[in-house]
Amino acid sequence: MCGIVAYVGDKNAYPILINGLKRLEYRGYDSAGVALINSGALNVYKCQGKVSDLEAHTDGKDKAGTIGIGHTRWATHGPPNDVNAHPHRSSSGDLVLIHNGIIENYAPLKEELKHRGHTFKSDTDTEVLVNLIDDVQRTEGVDLAEAVRLALESVVGAYAIVVLDRKEPDVMVAARKSSPLVIGIGENGEHFLASDATPIVEHTKNVVYMDDGDLAIIDRHKGLKIRNIKNQEKTPFIHELEMHLEALEKGGYDHFMLKEIFEQPRSIHDSMRGRLNLAKGEVVMGGIKDYEQKFVNAKRIIIVGCGTSWHAGLVGEYLFEEIARIPVEVEYASEFRYRNPIIGEDDIVIAISQSGETADTLAAIELAKSRGATIFGVCNVVGSSIARVTHAGAYTHAGPEIGVASTKAFTAQVTVLTLLALAIGQKKGTLTGSRFYRLLNELEAIPAKVEKLLKNEAQIKYIADIYKDASNALYLGRGFTFPVALEGALKLKEISYIHAEGYPAAEMKHGPIALIDEEMPVFVIATKGASYEKVVSNIQEVKARKGKIIAIVTEGDTVVKGLADHVIEIPATEDPLVPLLSVVPLQLISYHIAVMRGCNVDQPRNLAKSVTVE
């Protein structure tokens, strides 16, 4: 949430900041701003709206300067408007700051600062922080870096900040606590700073991931220094980025979401690469090497996540229980962290997160860790906070996901969970050899099957056109496809703003059936498998009440075809793998409905990609 970008070097900062903000816009897009220092002048430009609005706003203005900061906002304190947009300036006019996170004790700090003569223009906690740093700098007579460090001692909350001081025009100071910051080390002493690596990769592949409690001081002449919370100097550890620039472009698609849906044959394949070895008949998960016995002996697995990642966790529950015979509980990270859960040293907690930065998931991990559990992360973003605080883990390797609605990250998460369940199941001997090989073979065939079902796009678009004006929709699934029903409903509501609910198909009789009439589209996953006949009965119940059935069926199905208003065929596969196929038409149908309704698919209202506040 909120995108931060900063630059110091010998180039003009403005185009670098604007380009960086465009890359980060998926993190927040209600307002944007930049600040530049040039020849003793500190120029701040900001406005409500998108980065393109900011560009229009700065047209014809002085945008010179080789040091600057930029921000794209997802509002927490105060509505999205010009005044609340970042950067925020201290009332003295000397300091300017951008911030991602929440300062929880901003109200008492603000009162105190008012008494000390500071004035405020905005409703934000950020303006309080910049004045606090300014106040400390003046009262203690210290430089910017020390003022930031001292000021942060009085702050409660989460932050990633970058601060500039008109009086020290060659210095940029950044700090992080529970919100990510990455430093890019370019050529000729230039440095970049950003919320993630996407604005950095086109300039340099050498990055330093800041840790919680780090303070980075970047001096145009003296280079980068990192100090920790105790003011001790740390040696920055330089990583090489594996990200490629093409992954951040739309590549000819109208939207990132569509591109990411169509990337799934490759992303699922990449999630399996080097892990599934058909020739040897084994699954190798490097991430569990040191914890294999713990998994094999585990009495219980707890899976935590939010949103789509939580849905992947629900698929994980079915997978681990069926394949590895380990009891699983799936928890919303936000509930888990606040309800004093019973966790012990024998528990394994699997934390799932695309971004690896979700505040609630991070807090759930910290809690479980403090109680002695072993934490395994399933993350997409390499070097992210969750990837770094877990004991072990497996990256999903889906590549950057820019569309706010998660698509390829979900199928990659489910792929990794399937591999994990298979690896443990094989070690535990909970699967017969033949079933294990069948699942392995089928898993390897999934990318080609996704490729095949994506060819149905024209039919899916046709169905989308029929239901684009619906006000409500129901999604039903059973067993492995119940979480897919939840995910299908989430996709529709978040990008098209149509109210949608997912239910286990049989649960419909216990309430939601009251909603069904001739206006109600009901999406049913009715693939051949253990629950097939039961789901067919549920379809009959909907039809008897004149609901419109759009069924996802196995190729060649004739029974459901005779009942449903529309059927979308997907290739046959093993039950545990059906989520990887059945979710794809639901993603596509949501996408097309949203486009037909004129919605901003990649940046739906009120949402942001990386939810770094609780």
Given the complex with ligand F6R, which of 490 and 520 has the nearer CB atom?
490
Cα 42 from Cα 68, distance rounded (Å): 9
Residue 289: CB minimum distance to ligand F6R, A: 25
Sign of the CA dihedral 562, 565, 571, 577? negative
What Cα–Cα distance (Å) separates residue 192 from each residue in 10, 45, 218, 467?
12, 20, 9, 46
H or E segment and range at residue 567: strand 566-570
The yes or no reply on residue 394 touching ligand F6R (CB under 6 A) is no
The yes or no reply on residue 131 touching ligand F6R (CB under 6 A) is no
The yes or no reply on residue 612 touching ligand F6R (CB under 6 A) is no
Sign of the CA dihedral 375, 504, 581, 263? negative
Given the complex with ligand F6R, which of 97 and 181 has the nearer CB atom?
181
H or E segment and range at residue 20: helix 13-24
- Candidates 43, 84, 91, 406; binder of ligand F6R (CB under 6 A) is 406
Cis previous bond, 87, omega within 30? yes
Residue 28: CB minimum distance to ligand F6R, A: 13
Residue 557: CB minimum distance to ligand F6R, A: 29
Task: Determine the interface stretch with ligand F6R among 22-30, 205-213, 351-359, 388-396 (rule: CB under 6 A).
Answer: 351-359
The contact pattern for ligand F6R, residues 591-610, with x = CB under 6 A and - = no contact, is -------------------x
Helix, strand and coil content of the chain, in percent to the nearest 5, comes to 40, 25, 35
Task: Determine the interface stretch with ligand F6R among 152-160, 305-313, 362-370, 449-457 (rule: CB under 6 A).
Answer: 305-313
- Candidates 127, 165, 214, 494; binder of ligand F6R (CB under 6 A) is 494
Task: Determine the interface stretch with ligand F6R among 15-23, 38-46, 347-355, 416-424 (rule: CB under 6 A).
Answer: 347-355
Task: Tell me the pairing of strands 282-283 and 276-277.
Answer: antiparallel
Task: Tell me the pairing of strands 95-103 and 157-165.
Answer: antiparallel
Cα 95 from Cα 88, distance rounded (Å): 8
Given the complex with ligand F6R, which of 33 and 307 has the nearer CB atom?
307
Given the complex with ligand F6R, which of 67 and 381 has the nearer CB atom?
381
The yes or no reply on residue 148 touching ligand F6R (CB under 6 A) is no
Cα 440 from Cα 277, distance rounded (Å): 9
Compute and round to an integer the Cα radius of gyration of the chain: 25
Measured at the CA of 367, the angle between CA 366 and CA 373, to 5 degrees, comes to 90
Residue 475: CB minimum distance to ligand F6R, A: 14
Residue closest to ligand F6R when measured from CB atoms: 307
The yes or no reply on residue 127 touching ligand F6R (CB under 6 A) is no
Indicate left, alpha or beta for 228 from its phi (over 0: left) and psi (-120 to 50: alpha). Answer: beta
Residue 471 CA neighbour count, 13 Å, CB half:
5
Binders of ligand F6R in range 353-372 (CB under 6 A): 353-355, 358, 361
Given the complex with ligand F6R, which of 43 and 309 has the nearer CB atom?
309
- Candidates 28, 236, 307, 377; binder of ligand F6R (CB under 6 A) is 307
Given the complex with ligand F6R, which of 66 and 413 has the nearer CB atom?
413
Burial environment of residue 452 by CB neighbours within 10 A (0 to 12, 13 to 18, 19 or more)? middle
The yes or no reply on residue 439 touching ligand F6R (CB under 6 A) is no
- Candidates 76, 122, 124, 308; binder of ligand F6R (CB under 6 A) is 308
Given the complex with ligand F6R, which of 106 and 262 has the nearer CB atom?
262
Given the complex with ligand F6R, which of 85 and 365 has the nearer CB atom?
365
Binders of ligand F6R in range 500-519 (CB under 6 A): none
- Candidates 133, 306, 378, 423; binder of ligand F6R (CB under 6 A) is 306
Given the complex with ligand F6R, which of 144 and 333 has the nearer CB atom?
333
Task: Determine the interface stretch with ligand F6R among 60-68, 319-327, 352-360, 563-571 (rule: CB under 6 A).
Answer: 352-360
- Candidates 67, 302, 611, 613; binder of ligand F6R (CB under 6 A) is 611
Burial environment of residue 405 by CB neighbours within 10 A (0 to 12, 13 to 18, 19 or more)? buried
Q: Just list the catalytic residues.
A: 2, 609
Long-range contacts of 241-247 (CB under 8 A, 24+ apart): 241/197, 241/200, 241/201, 241/205, 241/206, 241/207, 242/382, 243/197, 243/198, 243/201, 243/382, 243/400, 244/201, 245/201, 245/202, 247/399, 247/400
The yes or no reply on residue 309 touching ligand F6R (CB under 6 A) is yes
Given the complex with ligand F6R, which of 87 and 403 has the nearer CB atom?
403
Residue 212: CB minimum distance to ligand F6R, A: 17
Q: Provide the terminal-to-terminal Cα distance of the chain, rounded to the nearest Å.
A: 11
Phi–psi pair at 459, nearest 5 degrees: -65, -40
The yes or no reply on residue 100 touching ligand F6R (CB under 6 A) is no
Size of residue set near ligand F6R by CB under 6 A: 15
Burial environment of residue 607 by CB neighbours within 10 A (0 to 12, 13 to 18, 19 or more)? middle
Binders of ligand F6R in range 6-25 (CB under 6 A): none
Indicate left, alpha or beta for 515 from its phi (over 0: left) and psi (-120 to 50: alpha). Answer: alpha
**Is 532 strand, coil or helix?**
helix
Residue 491: CB minimum distance to ligand F6R, A: 7
* Count of residues making up the chain: 614
- Applying CB under 6 A, which residues contact ligand F6R? 306-309, 353-355, 358, 361, 405-406, 490, 494, 610-611
